[in-house]
Amino acid sequence: MAIVAASIKSIRQKFAEDQFEFSKHAVDQSIAHQILVREVREAIGGE
């Protein structure tokens, strides 16, 4: 469980520091489902 918590913390840190990229599939899906980057950031907890 500690590994999962460390991974989540690392992902949140990367979002907070704008050190992330979206795959083409993720972009396509976000467009199809009208999901904003801001909404992803809020869900991740990076903002």
- Break the chain into its structural domains and give their ranges: 2-44
Amino acid at 38: R
Query: Using alpha carbons only, what angle is made at residue 19 by residues 32 and 17, rounded to the nearest 5 degrees?
Result: 115
How do residues 1-47 score in pLDDT, each as one tens digit? 788 888 999 999 999 999 999 999 999 999 999 999 999 999 998 55
Task: Return the amino acid letter for 3.
Answer: I
Measure the CA–CA gap between 28 and 16, rounded to whole angstroms: 23
> Are 15 and 46 in contact, with CB atoms under 8 Å apart?
yes
Both tokens of 26, joined, read 């993720």
pTM confidence score: 0.71
